[in-house]
Amino acid sequence: MEPYRIKAVEPIPFPTRTERERALARAGHNLFRVPAAQVTIDLLTDSGTGSMSAAQWAALMTGDEAYACSTSYVRFETVVRGISGFDEIMPVHQGRAAERVVFSTLLGPGDIVVSNTHFDTTRAHVEVTGSEARDLPCPEAADLDSDQPFKGNIDLRALADLLAGPDGHRVKAVVMTVTNNGGGGQPVSLDNLRRVRAVCDEHGLAFLLDASRFAENSWLIRQREQEHRHREPIDIAREVFGLADVFWASLKKDGLANIGGVIGVRANPDLAGRFRQLVILNEGFSTYGGLAGRDLEALAQGLTEVTDPRYLADRADTASWFAETLHKAGVPVIRPAGCHAVYVRAGEILPHIPAHQFPGHAWSCALYLEGGVRAVEFGSLLLGSGGGTAPHELVRLALPRRVYTRSHLEFVVEAAIAVGRTADDLTGYRIVGGSPALRHFTAVLEPVAFP
Ligand SMILES: *Cc1c(COP(=O)(O)O)cnc(C)c1O
């Protein structure tokens, strides 16, 4: 059960079917453009959508808004140091701000960065420097039916081959994303991370950690990697951070707050100085990084709550219960589930809709019309901007932290079952407007008529 009780509640909207149809049409059939007031259950993202605890709300009031070296910064720095062991800690306003600082400093044209999978903003910030972002996910990641426990791992053999080959000298860094958000929220094992450290030592590469879901990954290591089953999640997290040279995180995830990010640098005052200069240029003085003192307080408190084993056990259990319940109801999903989302295999539910007519998008729109549930397509609409198609046509049902109970998710399961009953009647979509960069945010679409 949830290891907390509810102290403040917020009513949720219940638009009628007609209102939902109107809202979707007005939004150009793009769920990013549907007003939140027309959404009953919002599973669009787990980023910045969590509930804060009573202790976090209380901490907000103690926010010190001094411009430099505020008390709130000192508290934030102390907490982040305690978890990460890094000496230089710089807050920034969110994850992509950290990526901009890190990559514009470390990379130049022609460099290669390798990752288990770059998250989309990570890839964009690598590419904008003229470098190449190369994903080397483990082979099991492509197999939706594999029950391999660590489908977020990097392919160590492919990494060794790349380093031994003609492009080897261009590789500057390895980015490990925990958990692997772009790869379905799958965890990375501690064994895989330790081996990456050894490869980086051998070849003089920087080990960069995208730690946005460090607590969830630590929990999944404890659950799935035999030798760590008795360790505390905070202890596993400390070891993971200890492997990296530089880390950053979007604290809109495991920071348990609504905004924030952080960069950490270990034992490299020169590099920290270069990062600090860019933080000051882009974000604000390096002890607030675009955040208010009260945000730093909420984050410091959230970061002490997120490694609580009871919280993490409930989060992981809820995700796996949600995935298993959908599966048993005949809705195909990726299993085993991670922590932050369940991915529906929409391409298999709607085999009559070709990839270029976005079956995942069709399923998401149908789910919204059925129950007012907002999800996001993770298929050829989101991944196929270059004109290509995605390997799988998925829909992500993200789980905001501490927001919805299981009965809310039962409602989502019922809506998903109802969509399945109408599958044969659903049609694809085509894009008729919007801008090409990250096109899923702005696309205007219309349903394709049956031939
Ligand atoms: C969300 C996320 C980011 C980007 O962070 P923002 O706070 O959205 O800018 C980077 N990496 C990963 C793995 C993420 O999940």
pLDDT score of 279 more than 90: yes
Q: How far apart are CA 266 and CA 34, in angstroms?
A: 43
Per the DSSP assignment, residues forming a β-bridge with 88 are: 265
pLDDT score of 438 more than 80: no
Q: Ligand 1 — pocket residues by CB below 6 A? A: 47, 94-96, 119, 121-122, 177, 181, 210, 212, 250, 252-253, 261
**288: CA distance to ligand 1 center in Å?**
19
pLDDT score of 183 more than 80: no
pLDDT, average across residues 105-117: 97
Highest mean pLDDT of the ranges 118-122, 244-248, 435-439: 244-248
Of 418, 394, 411, 417, which is closest to residue 341 (Cα–Cα)?
Answer: 394
Q: Could you report the per-residue pLDDT of 191-231, keeping only the tens digit for each?
A: 999 999 999 999 999 999 999 999 999 999 999 999 999 99
pLDDT score of 248 more than 80: yes
**122: CA distance to ligand 1 center in Å?**
8
**22: CA distance to ligand 1 center in Å?**
32
pLDDT, average across residues 285-302: 98
Write the DSSP symbol of residue 229. T
Residue 320 exposed, middle or buried by CB count within 10 Å (0-12, 13-18, 19+): middle
Kindly list the structural domains of the chain, giving each domain's residue range(s) and its CATH number in brackets, ordered by start. Answer: 17-39+308-447 (3.90.1150.10), 54-305 (3.40.640.10)
pLDDT score of 242 more than 90: yes
pLDDT score of 255 more than 90: yes
Write the DSSP symbol of residue 290. T
Give me the pLDDT at residue 451, please.
Answer: 61
**252: CA distance to ligand 1 center in Å?**
8
Give me the pLDDT at residue 85, please.
Answer: 97
Q: Could you report the per-residue pLDDT of 21-40, keeping only the tens digit for each?
A: 999 999 999 999 999 999 99
Give me the pLDDT at residue 436, please.
Answer: 78
Per-residue pLDDT band for 348 (boundaries 50, 70, 90) equals very high
Long-range contacts of 269-272 (CB under 8 A, 24+ apart): 269/88, 271/105, 271/246, 272/88, 272/90
Backbone angles phi, psi at 98, to 5 degrees: -65, -40
Give me the pLDDT at residue 185, please.
Answer: 86
Contact between 122 and 321 under an 8 Å Cβ cutoff? The reply is no
Per-residue pLDDT band for 177 (boundaries 50, 70, 90) equals very high
Q: Could you report the per-residue pLDDT of 360-394, keeping only the tens digit for each?
A: 999 999 999 999 999 999 999 988 777 788 889 99
**96: CA distance to ligand 1 center in Å?**
6
Backbone angles phi, psi at 380, to 5 degrees: -70, -20
Of 188, 248, 250, the residue with max ligand 1 atoms within 8 A of its CB, to mutate for a pocket test, comes to 250
Per-residue pLDDT band for 338 (boundaries 50, 70, 90) equals very high
Write the DSSP symbol of residue 170. G
Report the percentage of the chain scoring pLDDT > 70.
Answer: 99
Nearest atom in ligand 1 to 98's CA: 9
Give me the pLDDT at residue 384, please.
Answer: 78
Specify the 3-state DSSP secondary structure of 268. Answer: coil
C-alpha dihedral, 178 to 396 to 95 to 148, nearest 10°: 10
pLDDT, average across residues 226-247: 98
Of 121, 247, 263, 340, the residue with max ligand 1 atoms within 8 A of its CB, to mutate for a pocket test, comes to 121
Give me the pLDDT at residue 340, please.
Answer: 97
Mean pLDDT of the chain: 96
Please give the residue that has the higher pLDDT: either 396 or 385.
Answer: 396
Q: How far apart are CA 84 and CA 235, in angstroms?
A: 10
Please give the residue that has the higher pLDDT: either 390 or 70.
Answer: 70
pLDDT score of 437 more than 80: no
Contact between 327 and 335 under an 8 Å Cβ cutoff? The reply is yes
Report the percentage of the chain scoring pLDDT > 90.
Answer: 91
Give me the pLDDT at residue 333, please.
Answer: 95
Residue 72 exposed, middle or buried by CB count within 10 Å (0-12, 13-18, 19+): buried
